[in-house]
Structure 1
Amino acid sequence: MAIEVITVQDLNEFRSLLLNDLKELIQKPLQTKQWLKSNEVRRLLNISPGTLQNLRINGTLTHTRVGGIIYYNHSDIDKVLNGNKVVTTPTLFK
């Protein structure tokens, strides 16, 4: 069994490479799934199954059914969230 000696320079080089890899990972935009199942949408929006069903029934949230599984397009969820933004104006208290 051969013994390898690790120097301070080796550790500094490793540290530098590791930091560069971490910087690259942080700078990359997160990839989101295009199609989400019902349980993923409920977790994302923190809503109950009944609320999700109501959003489907009243046409607020479009969906696609394949067999017995309902899928939601992530961009459609973003559109609903962005379309329902509420802009509040600050009020001054006297």
Structure 2
Amino acid sequence: MILDLITKTDLDDFKKELFELLKQTGVNQKNAVENKKWLRSAEVRHLLNISPGTLQNLRINGTLPFKKIGSILYYAYSDIVAVMNKGAM
């Protein structure tokens, strides 16, 4: 049986590689949101960096169209881009 010793340097290298992978995953998640056709409220709030109340105001005044299926609200990504391009926020 062969034993491999793990040194502190090995752990530090592993940590650096892991953080790099996590950073790349974060970027990929943002791209994944942009590639989705329909987004849920939390995704929209994160994308636009707005509060739940602001999102509610955008719904109420008709600035941001939405669809409600059951108890879940969905927003078309194309509508979000259109609102951002208009500068309505």
Q: TM-score if structure 1 supplies the norm length?
A: 0.56
Q: What's the CA shift for 1:62?
A: 0.3
Alignment identity in percent?
A: 61
Q: Which has the higher helix share?
A: 2
Runs of 4+ with >2 A deviation: none
In the TM superposition, 1:1-94 aligns within 5 A as 32-84=35-87
SS of residue paired to 2:56: helix
Q: What's the CA shift for 1:33?
A: 0.2
RMSD: 1.5
Structure 2: tracts of 5 or more residues without a match: 1-30
Larger radius of gyration: 1
Q: Aligned AA for 1:60?
A: T
1:6-40, Cα deviation, whole Å (9 max, x unpaired): xxxxxxxxxxxxxxxxxxxxxxxx56100000000
Inter-partner Cα distance in structure 2 for 1:54 and 1:81: 15
Task: Report how many aligned residue pairs link the two structures.
Answer: 56
Q: TM-score if structure 2 supplies the norm length?
A: 0.60
Structure 1: tracts of 5 or more residues without a match: 1-29, 86-94
